[in-house]
Structure 1
Amino acid sequence: MKNTIAERIQDFLKQFPPFDSLTKEELLLISGKIKVLYAEKGEYIFQQGGPCHDEFYIVREGAVGLYRGFDTDQSLIDICDAGDLFGLRIMIIKKKYRMSAKADEESIIYAIPAQVFEPLIEKNKEVNKFLLGTFAAHARNNFTETEKGQRIDNTISIEAAKDLSSLRRVSYRKKPVTCSLDDTIQHIAIKMTDKKISCIVIVNNDKHPVGIITDRDLRAKIATGLYAVTSLVGQIMVFPVVTYSKDMTVAEAQIALIKHDISHLCITKNGTQNSKLIGILSEHDLLVSFGNNPSVLIKETKRIRSLHRLRYIRKQVEKLLKLYLEQDIPTKHIIHLISEINEALIIRIIELSLKEMPAAPPVNFCFMVLGSQGRREQLLLTDQDNAIVFEDVEEEDYKATQSYFLELADKITKGLHVIGFEYCPAEMMASNPRWCMSLSKWETQFRDWVITPTEEGTLLSSIFFDFQYVYGTAAMTDRLSEIVFEGVNKSNRFLALLGVSTLQKPSPLGFFKQFLIEQNGEHKDTFDIKTRAMMVLIDAARILILYYNISGVNNTLLRYDKLAEIEPRNAALFESCSKAFRILIKFRTRQGLLHHDSGKFIKLNELSKNDKLKLKRCFRPIRDIQELLRVRFQLKNFM
């Protein structure tokens, strides 16, 4: 029976990486040198700015929080519980701590002497990679608080950090922009501006990197007046450069940037300074490679010049979406972030399409998205719905002007299709002449839909009245909003017909409370979660917002929030509708990611009993909101 402290420590350590890759003898050697620490709640193991200890730590029992900041102004970066390592700075950099480690509850901690562990790093590649990955995760993690206090990883999640222990190579920028030692600062500044880059590498005649200049150098040395713009680059360049080979891993790249306190690495043919420069890797590029930072993805989108690269960004968005769902981030937050990235992608495609046009737009115009995109609640890659409004022109110029924008729209819709947004089967896209018109013609169209509603007009208006400005002259969409509300105020019949359409949506449940499934077609025996459940909640929110003449609130969840404010007596119903919609949109998104489709049609036989019950609970507010519409707009008279 094992009874020594070292053997007990060994039994604990072998359960966790990187110790699980060590031999029994190596583990016993380490265990014999470990110190056992007890920390009371609130007690510091080390503090930010303090000297680096001669040991790193693993939590045996309890929990240790890692914090940035001092005293009352501290931000929680990560929580380490049983088996988690922290304080690895001694193994990597040996500089002062950049965060504090404090016991969040009574904890037992093992202190592992760096001197004992270092020889194992040299001989065991798996240990080395794991330590690099864990240190990188702690160094870069930056959590923000959600409305429920949950943590959102806006840079590198713990799961992503585990991926760092793989041999995944970095993705660096090839064909870096370079200059020679004979160039002036003014010349390279112009070059950097034209190329929209943040650094330039100075090379010699053999194309070996001899120095680097970044935006930071230009600000610190030129904008401050320390050097004249006519000076040669050699006077302000940073040298020697830090070089690596193209085979370096993501974890190694992160540590190199942190260790040398730099923002760029030079990639050379053999990894040395005496070798040809073949690429550049920036801190920004490294963050993008993880694909789970919304702000970085948006910034990267603005710089991209090819559709192929934009498609890569959209795929990263899908990974981000999946990660957020797994972390159970609040639905509103997910919708907002994904919508922002989608909008940035659309804007970039418009900009690239404009560059391909033979001439600049003849008049001002506005590109707007419709339907779920217009409501800013499109999470999955579903159909694209969009339109173009352009400035009024003389009648004789109309055809030529429309032709220009149809050509532009064709490029935009093709670009959206390339990155993953399918063409609309009903051709509700700006490339259709019917949805690419002058402002006055759009005004006429909207008035016709509202004042003299038809069955087709009611259907189309339910899509087109959820529009969102994306690019161009925003005042045009503002004008269309005015037309909608002017028309609604003159025609009660229009809202009534919209209400009738909502009541006529197929019911989600039958008489015996069973799911009503599709009876024929390619989706036979599946449940249409969009038409039978989500669209009723979407339509009802739209009708009531129109009823109250509230413009600028297009999102379904925000609409129900606003309605709860306006009608306190019905606040409970609106909150129930909002909750049901949040559950439904998450459920549909998970199904879509699982089956790589729109998530619209659900295979009930693949759902657990619990999932089916969750869905059924969402149907109660659907019936209640339909009843509210029936009474308020006296819909019996229209049916």
Structure 2
Amino acid sequence: MNSIAVQITNFLKEYVPFNRLNTEELGEIASSIRVLNLEKNKTLFKINDPLHDSFYVVASGLVNLSIISDAEETILTKCHEGTIFGLRPFFAKNNYIMTAKAREESVVYAIPIAVFRPFVASNPDVLNLLLENFSVDKRNAGDNENFENNLISENSIFTGQQNGMQFFQNLSFNTNPLITSGNTVIKEVAQLMAENRMNNALICEKNIPVGIVTDMDMSSKIATGRFPISDSVDAIMSYPVITVSENVSLAEAQLMMLKHNVTHLCVTIDGSDKTEIKGIITEHDLILAQANNPGVLIKEIKRSQNASELKQIRRRLADIIQSSIQKNIPLTHISNIASEVNFAILKRAVEQSILELGSPPARFAWFSVGSQARKEQLLLTDQESFLVFEDVVPEKYKAVKDYFVELAQKTTAKLEKVGYVICPNGHIASNMIWCKSVSDWLKQFESWMKNPGEKNNQISSIFFDYEIIFGDQRIEEALNSIVFENTTNNTLLYDFLGNDALRTNSPLSFFKKFLVEEEGPFKDKFDIKTRALLPLIDGARMFTMSFGIKGINNTYVRFKQLAITDPKHAEIYLDCADAYLTLTKFRTLEGIKNDDNGQFINIEELSKIDREKLKNALAPMKELEDLIKHKFQLTQFS
């Protein structure tokens, strides 16, 4: 390796994603790099330029990325030393949508994509770093946030959040591809592709893929005169076809295309070229999937201007949830993604309201409650919230409270437009009762916990499942202090909460039949929320509070932590954790099917296997009930 290559190698290994490669690999890449010296104001590429065969790293100096907005050039980001940019040729075929111009005299390394591609194809970690936030959706071009990382494409900026989303994200693809036989004349195939507006055709024998022809084959082999148009299509087809299974993820598909240097993947029953065709995945499908990346959704949420835009994003989240469940992606992973997007929507709704109303007159915190706070809201269920503002002098109290009530009213109205219906019990920040100062809330929580049951219509156990969405973290810490101070040795509280939890009717009859609704609009349906999920949620909350476990709201995670904290009863907790996931999946699927909150399930519509799965998931509830009675010495419902 020559001295320049050594110098480049030593430079690259300090930066993501090159630090994921070994010295030998970096040396091979460095040996093929072109060093570009850019004078001040020199343009490397501009909007609508054809894509280059390289991407770039700033070795020294400063390069600006800009777009044309409102007839003016708007700088999106400044690329300093170590910043990667120009990744577009990796993931798209259309021209650049940004301009790269040297802000000062700069040195830039041009890394040939053909050289770098094999290292990406053999290293999923590097691919995920490059792919993480790439989207050709032009709305992503307007991100003006400050980022600390060094990966920048012309579309979006890498945020450094390594969460593996790409390896779980689902792909939509054409399930009705154009299929022909190898002896079909090329001219006929070209006509079929044109008539069907497709850029590819699969060549099959008995619905088994043997080859593929694309518009690129037509232009490079037919238009150039290498093959006559009267030949059979098997003369120009590419083979063997690269095949994948229908549950392939976005990252896996991208990896396969990079590894085999192809633009199409054939989907078959088992992912091999020995089984029947299920569809075709194109580069365009990957681009569309990238636009629905949860990370991209969050960026769009941050730039949204109104409730209508938030509603469209929430609908796209629903599609991600549905497709992820269908792919049998772990429910815990789906919940994590959904909660991040939900939290971003809630936060943005507050921000939009502040922009409309003006700056707050005091510090405050907006809290979500219940399923949102527990990160369990996969369906569009009630919005439950409360608002806490800092203590102010008495003469300012009314004006300050009036501001925050109005802020809450604007925010909850926006969220209602998004699809989060207002809690029917009034547990909502726009209700004056749930919008108070820090001192008032501390008194309220202390009253609820020291005198539970005095005002049944106002106390609710969900108020021990809260999560700050927006505002001053110190306010949350103040609430936490009063809550956990009053959970210690509070026999009266646990007696009330325990009996309240045990008051729920059993989900099964003595003869192991599902107890369904006897009247009303949901007659003969099973209330999976009230009879099955809430007892588990209540039980997990009670035990977590009693053991002083802080910072965990999610029911599944609570049971997992309880198994560690109380190993004597670990088996019960772990069974309850599994049961909770199973029941949640049943409810979510029911909600998706009926476009509602999934609370009531038609048992008759379930298969025999699913009915047994549902019954088995209810089994741990009796053991949990007995454990609650024993732990908190409850006798009323024994």
TM-score by length of 1: 0.59
Question: What 5-or-longer segments of structure 1 have no aligned partner?
Answer: 1-47, 50-66, 79-111, 137-149, 166-250, 259-282
**8 A contact 1:132–1:252 mirrored in 2:** no
Look up the equivalent residue of 2:308 and give its one-letter code.
H
Q: 1:129 aligns with which of 198, 212, 220?
A: 198
Distance 1:608 1:363, change over 3 A: same
- The answer as to 2:574 corresponding to 1:572 is no
Aligned to 2:580: 581
Aligned to 1:95: none
The within-5 A match list for 1:307-456 is 307-357=307-357, 359-454=358-453, 456=455
Distance 1:591 1:77, change over 3 A: farther
Q: Distance in 1 between the 2:282 and 2:529 partners?
A: 46
Secondary structure of 1:488 counterpart: coil
Distance 1:416 1:392, change over 3 A: same
Distance 1:298 1:70, change over 3 A: closer
* More deviation, 410-419/300-309: 300-309
**8 A contact 2:301–2:313 mirrored in 1:** yes
Q: 2:250 aligns with which of 153, 157, 161?
A: 153
Offset at residue 130 of structure 1 (A): 5.1
Distance 1:123 1:442, change over 3 A: same
Distance 1:456 1:609, change over 3 A: farther
Deviations 1:427-469 (A, max 9, x none): 1100001100001100001001111111645973411110001
Q: RMSD of the alignment, in Å?
A: 3.7
Q: Distance in 2 between the 1:380 and 1:154 partners?
A: 26
Aligned to 1:627: 626
**8 A contact 1:458–1:497 mirrored in 2:** no
Offset at residue 577 of structure 1 (A): 0.3
Aligned to 2:485: 486
Distance 1:71 1:443, change over 3 A: closer
Deviations 1:270-319 (A, max 9, x none): xxxxxxxxxxxxx7xx5565x3x111111111111122111111111111
Offset at residue 354 of structure 1 (A): 0.6
Q: Distance in 2 between the 1:154 and 1:310 partners?
A: 26
- The answer as to 2:603 corresponding to 1:613 is no
Distance 1:340 1:118, change over 3 A: farther
**8 A contact 1:528–1:601 mirrored in 2:** yes
Offset at residue 424 of structure 1 (A): 1.0
Q: Distance in 2 between the 1:463 and 1:378 partners?
A: 14
Q: Distance in 1 between the 2:621 and 2:349 partners?
A: 38
Distance 1:124 1:438, change over 3 A: same
Deviations 1:299-357 (A, max 9, x none): 11111112211111111111111100100000110100000000111111111111110
**8 A contact 2:504–2:531 mirrored in 1:** yes
Offset at residue 74 of structure 1 (A): 5.4
**8 A contact 1:335–1:378 mirrored in 2:** yes
Look up the equivalent residue of 2:479 and give its one-letter code.
L
Distance 1:323 1:455, change over 3 A: farther
Deviations 1:47-80 (A, max 9, x none): x99xxxxxxxxxxxxxxxxx963797457999xx
**8 A contact 1:526–1:604 mirrored in 2:** yes
Look up the equivalent residue of 2:366 and give its one-letter code.
F
Q: Distance in 1 between the 2:415 and 2:297 partners?
A: 17
Deviations 1:569-603 (A, max 9, x none): 21111111000000000110000000011000111
Q: Distance in 1 between the 2:448 and 2:409 partners?
A: 26
Q: Distance in 2 between the 1:607 and 1:336 partners?
A: 28
Q: Distance in 2 between the 1:546 and 1:457 partners?
A: 20
The within-5 A match list for 1:171-320 is 254=284, 291=292, 293-320=293-320
Aligned to 2:24: none
Secondary structure of 1:388 counterpart: strand
Q: Distance in 2 between the 1:393 and 1:582 partners?
A: 44
Distance 1:450 1:297, change over 3 A: same
TM-score by length of 2: 0.59
Q: Distance in 2 between the 1:164 and 1:415 partners?
A: 42
Distance 1:475 1:514, change over 3 A: same
Aligned to 2:520: 521
Distance 1:412 1:75, change over 3 A: closer
Percent identity, aligned pairs only? Answer: 37
**8 A contact 1:122–1:128 mirrored in 2:** no
**8 A contact 1:406–1:436 mirrored in 2:** yes
- The answer as to 2:603 corresponding to 1:604 is yes
Offset at residue 125 of structure 1 (A): 2.2
**8 A contact 2:583–2:617 mirrored in 1:** yes
Offset at residue 622 of structure 1 (A): 0.7
Question: How many corresponding residue pairs?
Answer: 410
Look up the equivalent residue of 1:572 and give its one-letter code.
E
Q: Distance in 1 between the 2:531 and 2:518 partners?
A: 14
Secondary structure of 2:619 counterpart: helix
The within-5 A match list for 1:451-600 is 451-454=450-453, 456=455, 460-600=459-599
Distance 1:302 1:252, change over 3 A: same
**8 A contact 1:155–1:287 mirrored in 2:** no
Offset at residue 526 of structure 1 (A): 1.2
Secondary structure of 1:392 counterpart: coil
Distance 1:547 1:68, change over 3 A: farther
Offset at residue 252 of structure 1 (A): 10
Look up the equivalent residue of 1:436 and give its one-letter code.
C
Large movers: runs of 4+ above 4 Å: 74-78, 116-119, 132-136, 154-158, 162-165, 251-255, 286-289, 455-459
**8 A contact 2:525–2:602 mirrored in 1:** yes
Secondary structure of 1:549 counterpart: coil
Look up the equivalent residue of 2:432 and give its one-letter code.
P
**8 A contact 1:410–1:431 mirrored in 2:** yes
Q: Distance in 1 between the 2:251 and 2:408 partners?
A: 34
**8 A contact 1:446–1:483 mirrored in 2:** yes
Distance 1:75 1:154, change over 3 A: closer
**8 A contact 1:324–1:334 mirrored in 2:** yes
Distance 1:347 1:75, change over 3 A: closer
**8 A contact 1:121–1:127 mirrored in 2:** no
Secondary structure of 1:449 counterpart: helix
Aligned to 2:89: none
Secondary structure of 1:541 counterpart: helix
Secondary structure of 2:470 counterpart: strand
Q: Distance in 2 between the 1:410 and 1:520 partners?
A: 36
Offset at residue 567 of structure 1 (A): 1.5
Q: Distance in 2 between the 1:155 and 1:314 partners?
A: 26
Secondary structure of 1:299 counterpart: helix
Q: Distance in 1 between the 2:201 and 2:377 partners?
A: 37
**8 A contact 2:506–2:531 mirrored in 1:** yes
Q: Distance in 1 between the 2:372 and 2:385 partners?
A: 9
Distance 1:321 1:516, change over 3 A: same
Look up the equivalent residue of 1:333 and give its one-letter code.
H
